[in-house]
A and B are shown apart, each in its own frame.
Chain A
């Protein structure tokens, strides 16, 4: 493998593609009909087989989420605000109701917190399986893991259908607590599924994570050092793959996480393979959390009645979604509709890593770096 001669030069901060062009370079447009995770356009400036710089051009799925959210009542906003990242719907829903509950002064009962936690961890497993299938699998050409991960994800989706009534679009957590209690045969089926899934994770390790072809493509590619990750404001598995131990579930516990015992996987190398492994280990930790929560589930009511008016004030709430720290700022003005909803999600914060990391790499490394960041264009564009 030849080394890239440009790596000896000091690296410059990301520049816009509108800067002066070298005569040997070519502008290639990647996208926007992106059959992977959503529509994103990257203007790549290519010199032979090396990418000189990348300019992300986002906004192809921008719907004006924050503007429309001002025209819907607090509860009606839930199906609207969970759509940006629909495979992670419980977290987007929960992050929105946390500031509303703070403004209205409601405390969800313990059984409701445990049910929300179980639904959220199931959703984390589902989102990481989708990531494994598409962003890590198909983007690197590994279509077998795509079949495996989507097949197992469907088993979780059938369980979620039993719990909430819908396969993907849950709208499960209005302010005050979950809408439904656990059905009768839910717990047995979930525990059997977790045993089966642990055996499948061993198979995933053999076919994907320990596959020498995947290791050769992903190890050492797109390295983000620890101080760079902090300076760029990364979050989620990207941050934990660079050696920073930060997870909102431990830093500011919400739901039932304060009573449950789990670890945060952190890897020091900061390359794409470390980011792959962080999500793999997180799936194992999610299994542990669900088992404990089912065991420790308290009895009692699941939800409180919430008022229909959002009082005056400003509140911030955050959860740890599958793509990182998801922060909502809700401002109320004593009416039934919020006056401003600001969404700060993990995908939009990872956007700055795209021009920063995809520099002086081979063209074939671009899908690996892009896939390891787990950038979800619809969530970033809102």
Chain B
């Protein structure tokens, strides 16, 4: 029986797994336009450089933080896309890393993808994630004299807004 040639998404995932066998923990392909890759947070810069130079993912649409108090972790998601290569321009590849909730630190991707500059500032302020190597890590959206905890963590609750 002839084997089917891998689809474009499987091909990408296989290339990443071949290049970083121990840093890529898990991958998920949904539909035709979405790939999620779980990776080890210490290898962010190498994976980012490979994705930008070899695979052609030249920009980041956003950096999101997701708080998960039951598993004691904060996830950081990088939504990457490609403008320069037409064959992959409809893909969104989500790079997802898990950080420990009591001390979330990760290297800053600004040296690889300059488009993450303000997104990382916002994630630092809202979730408390420290991006090491960011040229200008200070508060972006909250008040200048805000001394409280990071606002988007699930510890901050608003009971007057109803059941959550």
Contacts and interface: CB of A to CB of B under 8 A. Distances in A.
Interface stretch (B13-21, B41-49, B112-120): B112-120
B94 to A, nearest CB: 7
Contact of B118 (A316, A331, A352): A352
Interface residues of A, number: 39
B25 interface: no
Interface stretch (A60-68, A132-140, A193-201): A60-68
A93 B119 CA distance: 22
A278 interface: no
B142 interface: yes
Contacts of B58: 230-231
A340 interface: yes
Contact of B79 (A58, A235, A316): A316
Interface stretch (A184-192, A259-267, A287-295, A342-350): A342-350
Contact of A344 (B61, B162, B164): B61
A71 B161 contact: yes
B92 A59 contact: no
B152 A67 contact: yes
A26 interface: no
A351 interface: yes
Nearest to B158: A71
B104 interface: no
B147 interface: no
A132 B5 CA distance: 50
A195 to B, nearest CB: 35
A348 B158 CA distance: 26
B141 interface: yes
Interface of A: 13-14, 16, 58-59, 62, 64, 66-68, 70-71, 230-233, 235, 239, 244, 246, 251-252, 314-316, 318, 325, 327, 329, 331, 337, 340, 342, 344, 348-349, 351-352, 381
